[in-house]
Amino acid sequence: MTDQLCKALAGIDAANAKDPSGKAQIYGQRMSKVLTSFMPEAPEVLKIAARAQHIERWVIPRASYDEGRIAYLKWRKDLQQHHARRTGEIMRAAGYNDESIGQVSALLRKEQLKANPLTQALEDVACLVFLEYEAPEFIALHEDDKVRDILAKTAKKMSGRGLEAAGRLALDGRLAKLLREALSQTNGSN
């Protein structure tokens, strides 16, 4: 790991350590862990983007936007812009050039999803983190139909490689069953 990468990751962790809920730093570290397993050969720009995926997410609360899908999508876009800007500041302080900062910013804004292999890898890793770490708590709160719908939407965002990795996760019984059902519905609709 280069000195620049160490400085950038430490800067991201320091920013996320200020999260009042205590979740942001853990999330970033999980993203890095899953990326290492999913794509050991990942370039530095992807390693930084993975760690910064939700940097300072709490500073733009969802509750500050109206209800509904349009407002939700606006919130997500605004978050992506914030993540890109803050990560760029941290990278610049760590000595990265404009080109590297631009690459990470594009990844965090999810530009060219499906077309850019690095953007797709970032999305795959985010989905894998959701499935492995967040879905168990989420599914405990929802009925099977809603969970299947969310899992199907998650699967549609993933590449074949990401879906293969999801199939290797050690998920609890209900989650594994609902994921299989969601995948069969998704495959049947293609």
- For residue range 90-113, what is the model confidence (pLDDT) as tens digits? 999 999 999 999 999 999 999 998
- Dihedral pair phi/psi, residue 116, rounded to 5°: -100, 120
Instruction: Tell whether 88 and 121 lie within a shared domain.
Output: no
Radius of gyration of the chain (CA): 17
Same-domain pairing of 54 and 1: yes
Last residue of a domain, one of 96, 111, 126: 111
Q: Residue 49's domain spans which residues?
A: 1-111
Q: Are residues 133 and 92 in the same domain?
A: no
In the structure, what pLDDT confidence band is assigned to residue 188 with cuts at 50, 70 and 90?
Answer: low
Q: Are 96 and 8 in contact (CB under 8 A)?
A: yes
Looking at the fold, whether 21 and 107 belong to one and the same domain comes out as yes
pLDDT reading at 37 higher than 70:
yes
Tell me the pLDDT tens digit for each residue of 42-80.
999 999 999 999 999 999 999 999 999 999 999 999 999
CA distance 29 to 147: 26
Spell out the residues 6+ positions from residue 171 whose beta carbon is closer than 8 angstroms to its own: 131, 132, 135, 136, 179
**How many angstroms separate the CA atoms of 124 and 120, rounded?**
6
Shared domain for 163 and 98, answered yes or no, is: no
pLDDT tens track for 145-187: 999 999 999 999 999 999 999 989 999 889 999 988 888 876 6
- If DSSP codes are grouped into helix, strand and coil, which group holds residue 41? coil
- Tell me the per-residue pLDDT of 102-142, one tens digit each, with 9 for 90 and over: 999 999 999 998 899 999 999 999 999 999 999 989 889 99
